[in-house]
Amino acid sequence: MRESSPFRGVHGHAQAQTMLARAIDRGRLHHGLVLSGPAGVGKSRLALALARALLCETQPGRGCGECTICRRIGEGRHTDVAWLRGEGKSGRVRVQAAREVIASTQGAPFEGRAHLVLIDPADRMMDQAANALLKTFEEPRPGVHYVLLTENPGDLLPTVRSRCTSIALGPLDPEDLRAAVDAAVDQREIEVEPATLRTALELADGRPGRALELIEDPSLPALRQLLREVLRASGAQARAQLYSGDGGALWASWKEAVTTSVDPELLPAPEAEPAVIKGGRASKKKRKSKAKAPPVWGTPFQQRRTLARLTELWLVHLRQRMRGAAGLVEDTNTLAPDDFVRQVRVVQGLESSIVRNPNVRLALEQAIATAAGSLPA
Ligand SMILES: [Zn+2]
């Protein structure tokens, strides 16, 4: 972490941190804040740091990160910090949950000096929930702060957005990204292969949450192997590799990458749904009791996900090679500048076709043949 970060444990987002810390120091923190930015960029982390800064008694205005209050906030167990989250298949923030949380902020805070309500994703609030929130904005109560987290600030009701202070969080620079990921890896005590870490950082686009998701993705080593085979197949022996059948190295690595990737449908059902909000009713509805047996070549979800990840890796690899770097995996292909451009186009085309293409394996096969020059681009 750089010297300038006011909040403990938050890497990057220096401007946002400074602005929030100053507002707290002056006692002028707005009652409605919108934290926007892409998934995994650190919106929740910053929102929790803000909660610690407001409630910590060891380091008021900053948050020590170590006292009981700070720890309970991090674990989601502080009574004055309520999360309002999307529920069920629709992922909507329901009006009943919103009303209960709003009602809970009407009295004095239970423990600390302030009430915080964190709404995630705020753009998925049902209209009635948003309207209930608007009413509270008309007569803001001192010490009550709503933090709206969203990837799509444009999807918030304009009336809600106009009553909030908006803070946009952009990607971290490589130094902050590395620091954020290192800290999280240490904290979670996970062992990471250097190659996996490097790949995750390359693919993360400045989003530490995305890097961690990749690090913990059990299919990442298989994806790297798949990329190796795909590059080999798009080189000189394209046809031999491509049409070597299911047992050939290319499709064996495809199968490995597909079947090691996670499909939420295949996960065993939990005992019961976790409670979503403080004070709210925990849903007792059981999920499907039995996990389905996975198909031998993976589920359609796993296939799409694998192809999506592969195209990401492939594009990063090609861009690195174009810059004269070694790339993500060893690659003996020698490509002229025109070949690079053609291959990037092929992979981009493949990436955009994943959603509408019912046969992802065939799409991959055609893309490799086109990249190798066996098919017209
Ligand atoms: Zn503390």
pTM, two decimals, is 0.78
Question: 10 Å Cβ neighbour count for 361?
Answer: 17
Cα–ligand 1 centroid distance for 8 (angstroms) = 10
Cα–ligand 1 centroid distance for 149 (angstroms) = 23
Question: 10 Å Cβ neighbour count for 164?
Answer: 21
Cα–ligand 1 centroid distance for 106 (angstroms) = 25
Q: Indicate whether 185 and 147 sit together in one domain.
A: no
Q: Please, what are the averages of pLDDT over each run of 10 residues along the chain (377 residues)?
A: 74 96 95 96 96 95 95 93 90 91 83 89 92 89 94 94 96 96 92 90 93 91 93 75 77 93 77 50 49 81 93 92 88 86 93 87 91 71
Q: Indicate whether 123 and 200 sit together in one domain.
A: no
Cα–ligand 1 centroid distance for 49 (angstroms) = 10
If one counts the domains in the chain, the total is 2
Cα–Cα distance measured from residue 272 to residue 123, given in angstroms and rounded to the nearest whole number: 27
Cα–ligand 1 centroid distance for 9 (angstroms) = 12
Torsion angle (degrees, nearest 10) of CA 123, 129, 132, 138: 0
Cα–Cα distance measured from residue 193 to residue 332, given in angstroms and rounded to the nearest whole number: 23
Write down which residue in 170, 194, 213 finishes a domain.
Answer: 170
Q: Indicate whether 107 and 188 sit together in one domain.
A: no
- Return residues with CB closer than 5 A to ligand 1 (ion): 56, 58, 64, 67, 70
318: which residues sit within 8 A by CB, 6+ positions away? 327, 340, 343, 344, 347
Cα–ligand 1 centroid distance for 61 (angstroms) = 10
Q: What angle do CA 126, 132, 137 make, to 5 degrees?
A: 125
Q: Indicate whether 320 and 190 sit together in one domain.
A: yes
Range of the domain at 35: 14-170
Residue range 26-81, pLDDT digits in tens: 999 999 999 999 999 999 999 999 999 999 999 999 999 999 999 999 999 999 99
Write the DSSP assignment of 143-169 as a string of letters: TEEEEEEES-GGGS-HHHHTTSEEEE-
Cα–Cα distance measured from residue 35 to residue 148, given in angstroms and rounded to the nearest whole number: 6
Helix axes 337-353, 300-322, angle to 10 degrees: 160
